Amino acid sequence: MQKICFQSAKDLSYSSGNIHFNFNTAIITGVCRSGKTTLGNLLATAPYVENAEEPWTATNLSMMTGLGLIDERAGKEMCLNFLTEMFNDMILLRKANFRPKDLSSIWNQKSGEEIFSRLTDLYSRGDVKEFISDNSPLLLLNLAEILPFIDFFLDVLPETKLIHVVRKGLDVASDCYQKHWFSDEQVKLPIKAFPYSTYKFRNETWYLPWWVSRDEEELFLSYSEYERCVYYWCQLIQSELDRIDGLVDEGKCIVIRYEELIKDPRKSFDEAAYFLNIKSTPLTEMAIAKVKSREEIVHDSSKFKVVKELRNRLESIYSRLSY
């Protein structure tokens, strides 16, 4: 039997992404529980804004490339191709969330007229290409925990705009604590499909999130469950403060505070809309009203102890963020 000789890796690339990428992009980022989803749902009510809520593949490709798990060129090419394919499916509403009670439901973001028009009039890649040409839609990527890898996306999407949503670390920690994301049980049997390092400690196997610094494994495990949540916020926020400030100075990024978003969602929407060059719709007004109607959640962080070194680190970041 004749042996088939395939091309070598150095001669291969994911070329179709570069060929067919023809739409605008923006990224909302921040740590989990920082208000990204709230802002993304508001902005998705604008005409021709397609909101992609934490696409797993894009997030993991940036992490895997940044952490050296896959080749950098391949990771970036795969990401661009994934986003191009995903956007095609989003325009055709193949990726839409039609569950009416979900906050990110398509019914809260697009009019019934537009939904039915796209379901009945768009069928093929050619239809999508024409739709993009006629309407200049925006792919809004809502990505958590990618701050250390932001340059990956700036290389993949050089013209993209970035919105960084920040929230006080103790409030983020309280939310994470209530969800038990970093409890002993979760660190031993993690649910989230992200990179982990395996660590042996006290005769047990622990799976530590990728953002736990090398040589700080036992420090992280020695923390209380709440302190681990504070450490999580510090690690991700502190990693790219200088980079975010630089992007803000270059006009490529704006910062939205969670506290201001909840207090005055109209102001936050207008600021982001001006930055992205998008407009509001009647659905925007309804979405803003829903945010305004939320009951304010007050976290009492005083009942939790935080070791001095970690609290000093937190307060240093607070000062940098003018909290």
Domain contains 42: yes
Number of domains in the chain: 1
Query: pTM of the full predicted structure?
Result: 0.93
Residue 86, in any domain of the structure: yes
Kindly report, residue by residue over 163-210, the tens digit of the pLDDT: 999 999 999 999 999 999 999 999 999 999 999 999 999 999 999 999
Residue 4 domain-assigned (yes or no): no
Q: Which tens digit of pLDDT belongs to each residue from 51-72?
A: 999 999 999 999 999 999 999 9
- Residue in 55, 48, 107 with CA at minimum distance from that of residue 81: 55
Identify the domain containing residue 27 by its residue range: 22-320
With respect to residue 155, please indicate whether it lies within any of the assigned structural domains: yes
Residue 104 lies in a domain: yes
Residues 1-48 have pLDDT tens digits of 677 777 666 777 777 777 888 999 999 999 999 999 999 999 999 999
pLDDT at 307: 97
Q: Is 15 a member of any domain?
A: no
Q: At what angle do helices 36-43 and 282-292 cross, to 10 degrees?
A: 150
Is 5 within a domain? no
CATH number of residue 299's parent domain: 3.40.50
Identify whether 211 is part of a domain.
Answer: yes
Residues 101-110: contacts with CB under 8 Å, at least 24 apart: 103/37, 103/41, 104/37, 104/40, 104/41, 104/44, 104/51, 104/53, 108/41, 108/45, 108/283, 108/286, 108/287, 109/41, 109/44, 109/45, 109/51, 109/283, 110/45, 110/283
